[in-house]
Structure 1
């Protein structure tokens, strides 16, 4: 048993690394899986800005519509652009070979990204692009350095850049990094963009485990049942053993 525990402890850093650990402090994504409006907004953002490259080949359109409270006709009109049937999986038409040529590697499927990367990582990543000359797409990312992906939400955010402030340190004036700020050319203000990203994160977390809310609800009832059963079993045990004790 000690050997098994020791091996599991050794594997923890490997699992964390595989999940895409970052040295950049992650911002907390305060998502809410019960917020249908947020999930619907996130689904719309994904279909309009992400599906062109990233698939969700383990999630069906119809399941999304039903879980998010979207009428079928409305969902097909506003969220389903590929001419597929509602029961089909959420896929795009990008050839894998072409994607690998354009981006250096095929864009990953995002069905389980919410579970693999975590909500905080995705939320911080999508808000950490900044302009950088000499890169393939003219941008880089603080969380995922040299990522082979354009800033697909730039239309919403505008062109983000690193910002610095001059401060006095040890008697010298130095430039200190203070964050990333957009140039104002986007369709959304900074708070609105953060909300749009949070909605998208909410949707990605939902897709990673569509039955999560139901599972949690069942789990709570199971715990209540077990607690009641524990009391009944204890009382029954006392009744059986009262003559012995």
Structure 2
């Protein structure tokens, strides 16, 4: 009985491992939730390039504007394109049936994607698209093979492709994969694109747990208070004990 149970567990575990695919090195995402400029730029990128398909049904515009120090009139003019109200959640107007017809499945809500996938996964994923004419949208992804979405940031990055170089390996000339490069048609340089992706992931990390901003701000205040208290306590201790010595 126990032997059969262990066999089932092993079979399920191996199935999960196969479904997860081969391990991929993940680059460290430069997350900085105190960088308001980065968060604001990330919000702009999401609204312009992601909201057409993906939603944030648990995040409100008003909360975003308040947390990221975006004046309401500026936010309404530059970040709200779907006729929503400031107090509404960040949703698009795509019908679920249309999404399933176009993409095969409705694009997932991204409110908690950074908590589910992790910022390093997102940062690497958005920088791992490459041209693949065999795919429906003409691209594939090293982190998420057979991905079913287009490369929405292609306008910024250009068309990425897998680059190979001829190198001498064990005395023989072989084609060696050296990474993903672009055709140079993007609006941004490679460094600028990486920075833009970092800002977008930074924003997704914030949306996954908005209270982190408040917690960190409160933590800094607490540390300052403790430092001042320590100095006062030390001076008071010296005053009390000066006559003893």
* In structure 1, distance between residues paired with 2:119 and 2:32: 11
Q: Following superposition, which runs of at least 4 residues in structure 1 exceed 2 angstroms of deviation?
A: 213-222
Task: Measure the CA separation in 2 of the matches of 1:65 and 1:114.
Answer: 20
Tell me, yes or no, if the aligned pair for 2:67 and 2:213 is still in contact at 8 Å. no
Post-superposition offset of 1:213? 2.9
For residues 51-108 of structure 1, the C-alpha deviation after alignment (integer angstroms, 9 at most, x for no partner) is 0000000000010000000000000000001111100000001011111111111100
- Secondary structure, counterpart of 1:164 in structure 2: strand
1:166 and 1:176 in contact (8 A); partners too: yes
Residues 1:157 and 2:160 aligned together = no
Q: How many residues align?
A: 211
Matches within 5 A, 1:72-221: 72-216=72-216, 218=218, 221=222
Change in CA separation of 1:81 and 1:138 when aligned onto 2, cut-off 3 Å: same
Whether contact under 8 Å (2:166, 2:173) holds in the other structure is: yes
Q: Deviations over 1:202-224 (max 9, x none)?
A: 000000000013234556849x9
Q: Are residues 1:44 and 2:39 paired?
A: no
Give the TM-score normalised by the residue count of structure 1. Answer: 0.81
Note if contact 2:158-2:182 (Cα within 8 Å) is conserved in structure 1.
yes
Q: Secondary structure at the match of 1:62?
A: helix
Offset at 1:172?
A: 1.1
- Structure 1 portions without partners, runs of 5+: 1-9, 229-245
SS of structure 2 residue aligned to 1:180 = strand
Query: Normalising by the residue count of structure 2, what TM-score does the alignment of the two structures yield?
Result: 0.81
Find the counterpart in structure 2 of residue 237 from structure 1: none
Name stretches of at least 5 consecutive residues in structure 2 with no aligned partner: 1-9, 230-245
- Quick one: distance in 1 between partners of 2:74 and 2:36? 15
